[in-house]
Chains A and B, each alone.
Chain A
Amino acid sequence: MSLLDDRRLALVCALIFAVGIIGMACAPEVEEEPDPTEPEEPEYDFDAGIVISRGEEAETLDIQNTTHASANTTWELLGDSLVIFDEEGNPSPLIAEDWDVSDDGLVYTFYIRDDVTFHSGKELTAHDVEASFERWLSVEGSPTRGDLGEVESLEATDDYTFEIRLEEPHNAIWNVLASPYGTILNVENIDEEGDDWGTARAELIDGTGPFMLADWRRDDQMVLERNEDYVWGPEALYENTGPANIKEITFRVIPEETTRAAEIRRGNIHIDTGVPSAEIPSIKEAEHLVTIMNRPPSLSFLGINCEAAPLDDVKIRKALAHAINREEIVEVVRDGMGDPPYSFLRPGTPGYCPHDPLCFEDEIIRYDVDQAIELLEEAGWTEVDDDGIRMKDGERLESTLSISDTETAVVQGELVQSYAREIGMDIELNTMELAALFEHLRAADHEMFTMGVGYGRRGPDTLYWYHHPGQRPAPNRFYLEHDEMTELLELSRVTPDEEERQEAFCRIEQILLEEVPWIYLTYRDYLAAHDEKLENPQLEHAMYTFPKLLEVKVLSE
């Protein structure tokens, strides 16, 4: 065996391996042949099943005892709430065909439809509604039951009338009543299994929705079947009020984004409501996929602890806000899916300033490095050390940004870090697991953090949670003491006067821009994709409220 042989062979092996890797990585995508036998007039398959991907399994289907997104999605299909928000964000009939609210805002009376049945065949009456709410309020540790406000009593005054009495007005109550948390459940089945009902046996999950749970293999797939008796779909949202046009829905759990995207490109998944940003180009290119942009009221932001030096100085907060190039963040972090934000509420969402010019037009903070540097110099940070970091009285201008360890949060954090460096501020990133981050932020020793908030259609109400002093240490993690804002927040909770409420929110937005406890980073858009053989899946709001899938039809093959 000569030396040359050996070496040559090793070289060849190495080459093959390297070429293999490159070839694999660059391998062209297999082109999907367009279906040549497209019928002239679409024919639909009403017995078809569709597959929807999800990144995480629903931990439990006990919707009164979870805030898990997958559970929410599932219950949009399995059940119905009393009311549902229409396109404008106003409550519209679902289980309740009508309702009254007393002038003092304390008594809500709902008139229940008389033709609704549970999947088990049991007829739904106001007593079931009462039992369902009673159970909700009795679940120890339910994360959502408090959102109903201070409930004095719940009562079915007759078979089709249900009354909620509150101890004090609570404008935000609609947010939960119209959400899947407010789904009316058949509590008889709950009693049978107690607290474990949400995961016990598929046949015990009994709602009134357009689909019924047929099979559930955890972390793998969940199968839903059409409810043939369903005719009470919300007219405000759907032309077809039931039954659905498809027979079966399968949710498949695929945690790894790359894998999920590969499956939908292959045609094994028919709906993906949250296409990962890195996969957007490849999904958009796939010919058999239709993409829909979701523009939910959803914001990612950088929050500042206004008590922690050096960020206790509003000038520094403002300087940092000026240093952030929001357009670029949208481009890089979200692949252009979103808008640069300049206020807490996304334009067009309820509560957003209705005036033109905006009430807070003059305060808006835009990308302006010169302005940022000027502010820092004004604040006395004039010296610069060898690394280009600003100094004042021998102290470096530095701070820590706590972020979760998800890819998006990290990329966003790295960008913020590089913007801060531009103006001479040193930001250390502190990434941690979500569980650790939550606890860290509660311990109140954070300086800055990034988070996202999807505030729903009645978003301004969330400002109360974020800024009322009574909400420290969380969700009020900003620690901004501002008496005027506190008063306005309290007013917004109880006033029955919509106009006064609106004025309050406009002023609050203005205060937030003056004090800069938030640096808004992006309004997030989400790309939903579906197979072209699905017609009208109504995914426009899927990130925020999953559709009941009553309209979707599947083209016959």
Chain B
Amino acid sequence: MTEKPEQVAKAGLSARKGHWLIEGLQRMRKNRGAVVAGCAVLMFLFLAIVGPMLAPHDPVDTDPPNRFERPTLEHPFGRDHLGRCIFSRVLAGTRVSFFQGFIATGIALFFGGVLGIVAGYYGGVLDHLISRLVDVMMAFPGFLLAVTIVAALGPGIVNCMIAVGVSSIPRFVRLTRSDVLSFREQEFTEAARASGAKDFRIMFRHILPNVVGPLGVYSTLRLSTAILAAAGLSFLGLGAQPPTPEWGAMAAAGRGHLIRHPHMVLFPAAAIFLLVLAFNFLGDGLRDALDPRQSD
């Protein structure tokens, strides 16, 4: 949730020696908030995998005469405006929302990471070009960028993921680049170069492992942003295609019924809230753990 990738970069910098990951995770165990959040994320992951199978009803099965039914034992979250079981839809939607965030962040991580490593490693004209490109994308308000991309590609989950992913690439580039810059002239890089390793090998075998930590932390934080952005696109009608159960679209569809049938908004919104909250706390915890300066 921080807006400053450099901050995270420092975390990685100071933690790169030794078994930083193990040490970090041990430190994190003391952070109960992060542990709880981590468990919550694992639970969501579990639900994302098996959720659709656990759903007591078909999430797309409509039953208009019983629409807007309040929560009951059979339908613990009630029914929506088409009489579909909200509980089943929320369960089934875990997969959609979870992976929407995951893949969007994955896209950003991959392209941002590669561009960042290339820019940081080669420097010079290439670095300059990539940095300008990042400036351009940063100057374009992120959410508007996503809206424009979806307008160009057409609405839908996949396009939505691409849009959200692309619009968060620049932050990843900045983070990776500043990290790589600090490794470029280090001994192990020099050593690799001296032993005749190719640029490609140095970048991806020697430098990459060192920037994975901060990138991972930052990705966890960006996941929450990505999930929220996808929900925002659904609010504008640009997200998942009906009848796909997607939390943002479900909450948005219920917003007109907020007064009389609050359960239509409440449950999907709470699901988004909890998942995003979990990612935020986990990301915070990871960052704190990997940044020893804060671990007193």
- Direct A–B contact in the complex, CB atoms closer than 8 angstroms: yes
Cβ–Cβ < 8 Å partners of B27 in chain A: none
Q: Mark B61-92, 1 if CB is under 8 A from A, else 0.
A: 11011010000000000000110000000000
B237 touches A415 (CB 8 A): no
| A21 proximal to B (CB < 8 A) | yes
Q: Interface residues, chain A, CB within 8 Å of chain B?
A: 3, 6-7, 10, 18, 21-22, 25-26, 29, 257-258, 276-279, 281-282, 328, 331-332, 405-407, 410-411, 413-415, 417-418, 429-433, 436
The size bracket of the interface on B is: 20 to 34
A431 touches B256 (CB 8 A): no
B242 touches A431 (CB 8 A): yes
In whole angstroms, what is the CA distance A26 to B71 when docked? 14
A282 touches B259 (CB 8 A): yes
In whole angstroms, what is the CA distance A331 to B265 when docked? 21
| B144 proximal to A (CB < 8 A) | no
Query: Which residue of B60, B155, B257, B262 is within 8 Å of A418 (Cβ)?
Result: B60
Query: Assuming A418-B62, A430-B241, what are 19 further A-B pairs, CB within 8 angstroms?
Result: A6-B32, A10-B33, A21-B270, A22-B262, A276-B256, A332-B67, A332-B81, A332-B82, A405-B237, A410-B237, A414-B62, A414-B242, A414-B243, A415-B64, A418-B243, A429-B243, A431-B237, A433-B151, A433-B155
In whole angstroms, what is the CA distance A414 to B81 when docked? 11
Cβ–Cβ < 8 Å partners of B242 in chain A: 410, 413-414, 417, 429, 431
| B154 proximal to A (CB < 8 A) | yes
Give 21 A-B contacts (CB < 8 Å), ordered by A residue: A18-B270, A22-B266, A25-B258, A25-B265, A26-B262, A258-B255, A258-B258, A278-B256, A279-B256, A281-B260, A282-B259, A332-B67, A332-B81, A405-B155, A407-B253, A407-B256, A410-B242, A415-B64, A429-B241, A431-B237, A431-B241
The residue on A at minimum CB distance from B256 is A278
Cβ–Cβ < 8 Å partners of A405 in chain B: 155, 237-238
Q: Least Cβ distance of B92 to chain A in Å?
A: 15
Q: Least Cβ distance of A221 to chain B in Å?
A: 24
Cβ–Cβ < 8 Å partners of B238 in chain A: 405, 433
Cβ–Cβ < 8 Å partners of A3 in chain B: 32
The residue among B67, B262, B269 with the most chain A CB atoms within 10 A of its own CB is B262
Cβ–Cβ < 8 Å partners of A436 in chain B: 151, 154
In whole angstroms, what is the CA distance A22 to B262 when docked? 8
* Given known A405-B237, A415-B62, contact A21–B266 (CB-CB < 8 A): yes
Q: Mark B238-266, 1 if CB is under 8 A from A, else 0.
A: 10011100000000010111111010011
In whole angstroms, what is the CA distance A257 to B256 when docked? 7
Q: Give residues 31-71 of B contacting A (CB, 8 Å).
A: 32-33, 36, 60-62, 64-65, 67
Cβ–Cβ < 8 Å partners of A10 in chain B: 33, 36
A7 touches B256 (CB 8 A): no
The residue on A at minimum CB distance from B262 is A25
Q: Least Cβ distance of A326 to chain B in Å?
A: 12
In whole angstroms, what is the CA distance A257 to B151 when docked? 23
In whole angstroms, what is the CA distance A180 to B237 when docked? 32
Query: Which residue of B32, B253, B255 is within 8 Å of A7 (Cβ)?
Result: B32
Cβ–Cβ < 8 Å partners of A21 in chain B: 266, 269-270
In whole angstroms, what is the CA distance A411 to B67 when docked? 12
Q: Least Cβ distance of A537 to chain B in Å?
A: 25
The residue on A at minimum CB distance from B36 is A10
* Given known A7-B32, A278-B257, contact A414–B265 (CB-CB < 8 A): no
Q: Least Cβ distance of B274 to chain A in Å?
A: 9
**Secondary structure call for the B interface:** loop
Query: Which residue of A18, A407, A411, A432 is within 8 Å of B155 (Cβ)?
Result: A432
Q: Least Cβ distance of A189 to chain B in Å?
A: 37
Q: Least Cβ distance of B30 to chain A in Å?
A: 11
Cβ–Cβ < 8 Å partners of A278 in chain B: 81, 256-257
In whole angstroms, what is the CA distance A279 to B58 when docked? 28
In whole angstroms, what is the CA distance A282 to B60 when docked? 28
In whole angstroms, what is the CA distance A432 to B151 when docked? 9
In whole angstroms, what is the CA distance A79 to B209 when docked? 73
Query: Which residue of B61, B67, B81, B260 is within 8 Å of A282 (Cβ)?
Result: B260
In whole angstroms, what is the CA distance A18 to B273 when docked? 11
Cβ–Cβ < 8 Å partners of A331 in chain B: 64
The residue on B at minimum CB distance from A22 is B266
Query: Which residue of B60, B62, B155, B266 is within 8 Å of A25 (Cβ)?
Result: B266
Cβ–Cβ < 8 Å partners of A6 in chain B: 32
In whole angstroms, what is the CA distance A26 to B264 when docked? 12
Cβ–Cβ < 8 Å partners of A29 in chain B: 259
Cβ–Cβ < 8 Å partners of A277 in chain B: 256
The residue on B at minimum CB distance from A329 is B64
Q: Least Cβ distance of A56 to chain B in Å?
A: 15
The residue among A6, A26, A29, A413 with the most chain B CB atoms within 10 A of its own CB is A26
Cβ–Cβ < 8 Å partners of A328 in chain B: 64-65
B243 touches A417 (CB 8 A): yes
Cβ–Cβ < 8 Å partners of B64 in chain A: 328, 331-332, 415
In whole angstroms, what is the CA distance A307 to B163 when docked? 35
In whole angstroms, what is the CA distance A538 to B260 when docked? 30
Q: Least Cβ distance of A432 to chain B in Å?
A: 6
In whole angstroms, what is the CA distance A429 to B154 when docked? 13
In whole angstroms, what is the CA distance A410 to B240 when docked? 11
In whole angstroms, what is the CA distance A415 to B65 when docked? 12
* Given known A25-B265, A332-B64, A332-B81, contact A258–B256 (CB-CB < 8 A): yes
Q: Least Cβ distance of A247 to chain B in Å?
A: 34
Q: Give the 6 A-B CB pairs with smallest separation, nearest first.
A: A278-B256, A25-B262, A405-B237, A418-B62, A332-B64, A414-B243
Cβ–Cβ < 8 Å partners of A417 in chain B: 242-243
In whole angstroms, what is the CA distance A18 to B270 when docked? 9
In whole angstroms, what is the CA distance A10 to B266 when docked? 21
In whole angstroms, what is the CA distance A435 to B246 when docked? 24
Cβ–Cβ < 8 Å partners of A279 in chain B: 256
The residue on B at minimum CB distance from A17 is B273
Q: Least Cβ distance of A13 to chain B in Å?
A: 11
Q: Least Cβ distance of A17 to chain B in Å?
A: 9
The residue among A25, A258, A413 with the most chain B CB atoms within 10 A of its own CB is A25
Cβ–Cβ < 8 Å partners of A418 in chain B: 60-62, 82, 243
The residue on A at minimum CB distance from B274 is A14
In whole angstroms, what is the CA distance A413 to B154 when docked? 18
In whole angstroms, what is the CA distance A161 to B287 when docked? 83
In whole angstroms, what is the CA distance A14 to B253 when docked? 25
Cβ–Cβ < 8 Å partners of B257 in chain A: 278
B33 touches A411 (CB 8 A): no
In whole angstroms, what is the CA distance A25 to B261 when docked? 9
Cβ–Cβ < 8 Å partners of B60 in chain A: 418
In whole angstroms, what is the CA distance A418 to B59 when docked? 12
In whole angstroms, what is the CA distance A405 to B256 when docked? 15
The residue among B61, B82, B241, B266 with the most chain A CB atoms within 10 A of its own CB is B241
Q: Least Cβ distance of A231 to chain B in Å?
A: 44
B256 touches A406 (CB 8 A): no
Q: Least Cβ distance of A193 to chain B in Å?
A: 32
In whole angstroms, what is the CA distance A361 to B265 when docked? 45
Cβ–Cβ < 8 Å partners of B36 in chain A: 10
Q: Least Cβ distance of B86 to chain A in Å?
A: 14
Cβ–Cβ < 8 Å partners of B265 in chain A: 25
In whole angstroms, what is the CA distance A418 to B61 when docked? 7
Cβ–Cβ < 8 Å partners of B32 in chain A: 3, 6-7
Cβ–Cβ < 8 Å partners of A276 in chain B: 256
In whole angstroms, what is the CA distance A418 to B58 when docked? 12
Cβ–Cβ < 8 Å partners of B241 in chain A: 429-431
In whole angstroms, what is the CA distance A26 to B155 when docked? 33
In whole angstroms, what is the CA distance A21 to B241 when docked? 28
In whole angstroms, what is the CA distance A414 to B155 when docked? 16
